[in-house]
Amino acid sequence: MNLERVVFGFFIILTLSLNYAFVAGGVEAGAHHNVWILTLTIIVNLVAIGLKLGDRSQTGALLLASGLVAGLLLITARVVWIVVESGGGSEPGPGEMADIVSLATGALVANIVATVILVGDTLLSRR
């Protein structure tokens, strides 16, 4: 067993899981979405991106691209949340929350792509 691959897979799957945990719930319901889960998802995604930087393969390039897309969307969602809170000092309303969750859902798609690529690469390398 390769410990480096285990750690890499752990962070890819953890990012996907946290991203899903944030997105799950009613799109416009602010009570269903926790800002700290979004923040933790961003941090774990950045760690996963850092782990992807050393891989020079075509698969590594696709994993890095999907991680960068997810990171960009998650950071944008967090910035929207920060702007909304600083503007009125309150939680995001239904419209803003729908925007935040939509961005995080886009990141979820990118994280699913990364996980599928990782699993496919693992299955192909076993042969």
Q: List, for residues 48-71, the tens digit of each pLDDT value.
A: 999 988 788 888 899 999 999 999
Q: What is the pLDDT of residue 25?
A: 84
Q: What is the pLDDT of residues 14-26, one digit of tens each?
A: 999 999 999 998 8
The structure's pTM equals 0.91
* Tokens read off for 36: 């700290």
Q: Are 4 and 99 in contact (CB under 8 A)?
A: no
* Tokens read off for 101: 């969750």
Predicted confidence (pLDDT) at residue 29 exceeds the cutoff of 90: no
Q: What is the pLDDT of residue 83?
A: 93
- Residue 102 and residue 118: Cα distance in Å, rounded? 24
Q: What is the pLDDT of residue 99?
A: 94
> Residue type for 52, please?
K
Q: What is the pLDDT of residue 28?
A: 76
- Residue 127 and residue 111: Cα distance in Å, rounded? 25
Say what percent of the chain tops pLDDT 90: 66
User: How many residues can be counted in the chain?
Assistant: 127
Predicted confidence (pLDDT) at residue 89 exceeds the cutoff of 80: no
Q: What is the pLDDT of residue 87?
A: 79
Which of 99, 96, 74 lies closest to 86 in space, CA to CA? Answer: 96
